[in-house]
Structures are given as structure tokens and as C-alpha cells.
Amino acid sequence: MTDRSSTNGQTAGQLENWSREGFTGEATYVRRAHYAPDFIRAEGPLAPRRLTVGSLHVPDATDPQAFPVPVAAASSGLRVSVSHRGAPMPFVVRNVEADELHFVQRGELRFRTAVGIVDATAGDFVCIPRSIAYRIEAVTGDLQTVVVEAPGALRFDTPARSGMVNFNRDVSYARFEPTDPGGETTLILRSGDEFTRFVYPHDPLAATERVGGSNPVWKLNLAKVSPITYEGGGGPPAHFLGIANNEVLFYPLSARRGGRPVVHVNADYDEMIYYFAGPGAWGAVSEPGTLTWVPKGVTHHGPPEDVPGGYLAWMLETRTTLRFTPQGLAVAELMETGMYGPHRRPEAVPATR
């Protein structure tokens, strides 16, 4: 439940920051005596919401033919989906519209791709770029993954070549393994919700040798992405991954030193934050697999990040406004934007507000 006392203690003289271009553009600051994030009620598509990925009914838990269920989408083609795949894929898929970033909440899985194999476990990001064919060919444990489809080429974009990510040590690439041509195989070309099925006499993933070029399929664990910290009062987060024109940006939002963020109005980006694991709570968010969403233009504060017990989280910023899908809305709840807990009912709001 929301700890309202944590915000009530900061209702006087709160700084509010309006910012352009995420955290890198023009900004202005105003001090308000009232606590600006508090709202009595909100209705409509851009109300802030939260959900837990474990609460979704996802058909791929029992149907190997099923695809992940989208919980949020934007007109740019960006989508956020959830998978609980319970068995290997009986087909090969090639997403021709998006780079796919898979994040493993729990369980283990093996991706066999057109350029090699990646084994992934909890906390791993796995990037499969557009038109790289793949098959999830092994799953163990009670698998839960979040899949972000990015409408552009994802590339690392860190403030320095080292520090935030140790690329040589912590980014691993698909390992090649020669395979026989195999037998008849279905390949699904995926374009959003459109599926075109090809049947080939051989497995399109089969190959005899990796000859050269770059290796586009990689893996990186969230615990190996260091959030930027600042001495003194703290400062904004920094992204580590994104697409051209900063249309989509990924940040580590794990525990870090520094003061609590200022109250914020993000002019250009929606902020979707995914809480992976504790042991510490991030404000009112403590259940692994909780996804919070604050659309651009919604006044928010956000919990303190300087949590001694530590926690791991990441943020997706998207310039194009997201919408929760009907499946997402079915399990989402309205969220207050102080500590990111469930929004209290209007009758619980003090009469003075």
C-alpha cells in the first residue's frame, strides 16, 4: 500500500521541474507550497497506471503457438509485451518491424538465432534486431519475460566507453554452433499483429560457419548496468541504450546514492519503469515484475532511489505517447505519482485538497 506519510512530510516548498528532451534539454524550476503530484481523480487514456506482469493471463503459458501479450503500445510501433512461455516455439519467427529487447523476470530460456545461441536467465536483457530469425528452443522454470519492440535499431549509448557498462566483460554475444539443415520448418514473418507463414524444407536457422561481420545479438544483465550517481544532492539518470533521434531510451533505474528526484513534468517522454527485484522496496513498489507508467505531461515525483537494501529497476522512455492495451488495462490500476502506489479512492482524499 502507498505510504502517504512519506509524501505528506514534503508538502511545503516543493521544487517542480519542467524539462525538455528528457533530462538533457531546456528546464525550468518552480517552487510550490502544495504537493503537486497529488490528484483527486484521473480518468482517460493518459492516467498513470501500474501493473504486475505475473497478474496477466498470457496464452503462451499453455499454447506453444501463441505470442506474447502486448500491455502497452505507441503509434511509433513501440510495444511492450509479456510472455509466460511454457514450452519451446514450434516455429521460427522473424520480426520485420522492430528490434526486440527481451528482459527475463524469472526462469531460463535459450534463444537459437540466425547467428548463434544465447542462454538467458533472470535479469538478462537479450537484444534480437529486426529481421534476425530466432526460435526459443528451451524454457525452464516458471518463465516470465517482458519484450520491448523498438521501432529502430537499438544501440548502446553511454556517457563514456566504460563505467556505466563494462562492454568487454559484461556484454556477451550469440555463440555460433554449426547445425544440420534439419527438416521442414515454419518461419513466421511478423509485422505487428500480422503474421505471414512460410514453410521451408529446412530449418532457416541452420548454418555451417560464422564467417564475419558484426554480431548483432547480445546479452547484458541489468545488475551489470551501473546507474549514474552524483555527489551532493543527486541528479538525473542517464540512459545506456536507445534508438535514433532518442525516440526510445533505456535507463538503469536501480538504487543509487543521492537525494530524491524533484517533482517533474517530462515534456517529451513517457516514463515506464520496471521494477525487477529487491531486496529493497522502491517506494510503494516492492513486488518483482511491477511496471509503472507516467505519461508525458503528468506531474510526478517518484520514490527515493537511495535505498540501503538496494533494488534493480530499469526505465523505458518513449517520445511517442504510449497507451495501455485492453489486456494491460484489465490488470492495471490507477497509480498515485508520489511513491507510485495504488491511487487511493477519492473518499480517502483529505477535504483540504
- Residue closer to Fe ion by CB (options 79, 264) is 264
Which among 39-47, 87-95, 119-127, 259-267 is the span making contact with Fe ion, rule CB under 5 A?
259-267
CB of 302 to Fe ion, least distance (A): 6
CB of 206 to Fe ion, least distance (A): 47
Query: Cα separation of 160 and 177, whole Å?
Result: 33
Query: Is residue 301 a contact residue for Fe ion (CB under 5 A)?
Result: no
Burial 167-199 (b: 16+ CB within 10 A, else e): eeeebbebeeeeeeeeeebebbbbeeeeeeeee
Residue 50 vs 264, nearer CB to Fe ion:
264
- Looking only at the bridges linking them, the beta strands covering 14-19 and 27-32 are antiparallel
- Piece in contact with Fe ion (CB under 5 A), picked from 10-18, 36-44, 127-135, 258-266: 258-266
Q: Which residue lies nearer to Fe ion by CB, 172 or 229? A: 229
CA distances from 100 to 145, 212, 236, 281 (A): 12, 23, 26, 28
* Nearest distance from C-beta of residue 264 to Fe ion, angstroms: 4
Per CB under 5 A, the segment of 120-128, 160-168, 236-244, 263-271 that binds Fe ion is 263-271
Task: Give min distance, CB of 272 to Fe ion, in A.
Answer: 11
Nearest to 338 by CA among 261, 274, 272: 261
Q: For Fe ion, which is the closer residue by CB, 84 or 264?
A: 264
Least CB distance to Fe ion at residue 87 (A) = 39
Q: Which residue is nearest to Fe ion (CB)?
A: 264
> Nearest approach, Cβ of 257 to Fe ion (angstroms)?
18
C-alpha grid cell, residue 36:
503537486
- Tell me the closest approach of the beta carbon of residue 72 to Fe ion, in angstroms: 17
CB within 8 A of 274, min separation 6: which ones?
103, 146, 289, 290, 291, 292, 313, 314, 315, 316
3-state helix, strand, coil in the chain (%, to 5): 10, 40, 55
Contact window for Fe ion (CB under 5 A) among 89-97, 117-125, 257-265, 337-345: 257-265
DSSP H helices in 147-293: 167-170
Judged by CB under 5 A, how many residues of this single chain contact Fe ion?
2
Cβ proximity to Fe ion: between 76 and 337 the closer is 337
Q: Which backbone phi and psi does 46 adopt, to 5 degrees?
A: -105, 25
264 binds Fe ion per the rule CB under 5 A? yes
Q: At its nearest, how many Å lie between Fe ion and the CB of residue 269?
A: 8
Residue 97 CB burial class (10 angstroms; 0-12, 13-18, ≥19): middle
Return the residues of window 43-102 that contact Fe ion according to CB under 5 A: none
Binders of Fe ion among 95-134, rule CB under 5 A? none
Closest CA to 287 of 311, 315, 321, 263: 311
Give residues in contact with Fe ion (CB under 5 A): 264, 266
